[in-house]
Structure 1
Amino acid sequence: MRNIASCYNEHAIKVTDSYCSNPSNQVLYHIPSVRNVVTCIYKVKVAMEKQFFVKVTWCNMLQHGFSLHISEKLNKNFKKVVTTDKVKGSKTSELFCSRFDICWDLSSAMYDEGPEPITGYFVKVLVNSEMGLSLGEMEHDNEAKNLNVDDTFSRFVLVSRSEHYSGCSVFATKAKFCDSGTCHDILIKNSSAMLFVSIDKKSVIQVKRLQWNFRGNQTIFLDGLVVDLMYDVHDWLFNTKTGCAMFMFRTRSGLDSRLWLEEKNLEQKDEEKVGFSLLICASKNPD
């Protein structure tokens, strides 16, 4: 019996060097839009196999700031814990029969093109005195170092990332689809006539006559994984004032034979094994 990778390989686009050997597949780069909102959801496991989901949203609409929400279920009943533009602080909340201690320091944070700091910062979430989520650099974390923290059982993984762009029709980002994979450069160029998507400078989809083909999907074989690329640019094309375009990359587990799952099956899958998804949302206007 063939494995799942070999079955999908017959119809999926493989992101390899040979695929890009033809000059017609080379990417023409343009100045990309700037991200103004980034939301990341992490699955956090602590002792006794207790599991939480932590959603961190970075925003620079007016000035750099972030918010943090916590839930027991993926994409359900997130409770707001922190919303602030303060560069340093801490907060304690009692949720889901657990104590959450959050501390952060962005006073020395460095930013690239977007709201998410890249260095010189930390955000820590402690669950019942156990380290749950640790973002940033430990050497800047003098406050957390002084805490009595047990990180023996702690482990967290990024399961979802969404990015919001506005204005331009060219979007560039990076994504890692699994822990053992590499970080990939993703470029999306969306015009009124054609949609172009590349990964690591290799074309994975080119859609012409976009006004007729404004929704669709493509299967990609990447890092030994089956990745579904889905797009919807209907509102971007036909709503001139507030139109938006959406692009989703989602890993498919070996048990998934369908692109879309019923809601109840999807909820069960979320509980058993959470993959990774990247959502890119683009709007013509900042509002």
Structure 2
Amino acid sequence: MALEAATFSIPTSSSSSSNEKVSEPQTTSKGAPQCSVTCVYQAKLADMYYIVSVTWCKNLTSHALSITVENPPQENRYTCKIDLKAWQFWGKKGLKSFEIDGTRADIFWDFRQAKFTSATEPCSDYYVALVSNEEVVLLLGDLKKDAFKRARSRPSLDEATLLHKKESVYGKKMFSTRTMVGTDHKEHEIVIENSLSGPGDPEMNIRVDGAVAVRIMNLNWRFRGNETVMVNNVPLQIFWDVHDWLFSGPGSGQGLFIFKPGKLDGESNNSNPDERNCSDGIITEFSHFLYAWKTE
């Protein structure tokens, strides 16, 4: 069974002037593909916990960051969208304030000196800070001192928790990402290489920090599966489903990869790595979902 690409939207509160929507990319014959990364956090504002979703989207014509703060039980939401286009320097530094459930919060950002690569997220020299009650409850980027100084706030004693990450990327034979392993919040580089055409059987390699961690031969028969690898003495579950790469036309389906620190209960083998089944029995909260779209 091929897995469908997930879609999601981020509606604004009623006080916003227009609705903002951010969707994971769909491969079509028209328009440029859109890469996206969404990180979902749990953060404490005042005395309540909220879900904070941070989405970076990029294609040939646009580059944007959307942040939504929501209280799911009460369905109250606020969304801030930041345009990261290079020619809009005046908008690279800003502040937006909002109120949710009677709690005031501020979002500070500074991308004036940000360094970008081909990835959707900046690699250095920027910050994005979510502030409530003079505490920085969520901080992105490496300019931490600048963020604290500008916001005139201290770090929160309740650090935001990263719950899961969803990412959509495009490529031909190679896909790369970074995922968190362990409790030190350090990210590790993962590279997926595939060879689907040629005289031999299709195969796929998954490298972690440059070393081959998983090698799948006879991919026609092992297009779904999972393995556990050790990364700095921490077990990492890797699930894959590349059915559509092999049995659908180019651009008509994605490969799904899930990276999840921890072990399966009883080390059971789950050969169907969909989001619902993969979350059963794994001793951890964080999951990284990578949707890899092959291009011609």
TM-score (norm 1): 0.71
CA contact (8 A) 1:104 1:124 kept: yes
Cα deviation per residue 1:201-231 (whole Å; 9 max; x = unaligned)?
A: 3222222221222111112233343321110
The code of the aligned residue for 1:200 comes to: D
The answer (yes or no) to whether the contact 1:197–1:203 under 8 Å persists in 2 is yes
44 and 146 in structure 1: CA distance in 2 versus 1, 3 angstrom threshold: same
Number of the residue aligned with 1:280: 290
**What's the CA shift for 1:191?**
3.0
Q: SS of the counterpart of 2:219?
A: coil
Answer yes or no: is 1:138 the counterpart of 2:144: yes
**CA RMSD of superposed structures (Å):** 3.6
Q: CA deviation at 1:96?
A: 4.2
Distance 1:77 1:237 in 2: 41
CA contact (8 A) 1:108 1:121 kept: yes
Once residues 242 and 70 of structure 2 are traced to their aligned partners in structure 1, the CA distance between those partners, rounded to angstroms, is: 31
1:113 to 113, 118, 121: 118
% of aligned pairs identical? Answer: 27
Contact 2:71 2:77 in 1 (8 A): no
Distance in 2 between the 1:71 and 1:210 partners? Answer: 41
Q: d(CA) in 2 for partners of 1:256 and 1:275?
A: 18
Q: Distance in 2 between matches of 1:282 and 1:254?
A: 24
> Are residue 190 (structure 1) and residue 194 (structure 2) matched?
yes
Partner of residue 44, structure 1: 43
- Which of 154, 160, 167 is the matching residue for 1:156? 160
Kindly provide the amino acid, as one letter, of the partner of residue 228 in structure 1.
Q
* Counterparts in 2 of 1:73 and 1:274: CA distance versus 1, 3 Å: farther
- Confirm or deny that 1:221 pairs with 2:196: no
Q: What secondary structure does 1:103 align onto?
A: strand
Aligned to 1:59: 57
Task: State how far apart, in whole Å, the 1-side matches of 2:231 and 2:163 are.
Answer: 17
Q: Which runs of 5+ in 1 are unaligned?
A: 1-33
How do residues 240-279 of structure 1 correspond to structure 2 at under 5 angstroms? 240=249, 241-252=251-262, 275-279=285-289
Aligned counterpart, 1:237: 246
In structure 2, do the counterparts of structure 1 residues 236 and 95 end up closer, same or farther at CA, with 3 Å as the change threshold? farther
1:252–1:275: 8 Å Cα contact kept in structure 2?
A: no
Contact map agreement 1:46 1:154 (CA 8 A) in 2 = no
Residue aligning to 1:209: 218
Partner of 2:68: 69
- 1:118 is paired with a residue of what secondary structure? coil
> Secondary structure of the equivalent of 1:117?
coil
Q: Could you list the runs of 4 or more consecutive aligned residues of structure 1 that deviate by over 4 angstroms after TM superposition?
A: 253-263
Q: Which runs of 5+ in 2 are unaligned?
A: 1-32, 84-90, 197-201
**Structure number with higher relative contact order (C-alpha < 8 Å, ≥ 6 residues apart):** 1
**Displacement, 1:249?**
0.5
Q: Decide which of 100, 107, 123 is 1:102's aligned counterpart.
A: 107
Preserved CA contact (<8 Å) 1:226 1:251: yes
Q: Distance in 1 between matches of 2:160 and 2:145?
A: 20
Task: Name the structure with the higher helix share.
Answer: 1
Residue identity matched to 2:64: G
CA distances 1:133-192 after superposition (whole Å, capped 9, x unpaired): 111203544xx6254424352412433223221132211233331233754221111232
- SS of residue matched to 1:220: strand
Distance 2:52 2:285 in 1: 15
Size of the alignment, in residue pairs?
245
Distance between the aligned counterparts of 2:117 and 2:183, measured in 1? 23
| Equivalent in the alignment of 2:176 | 172
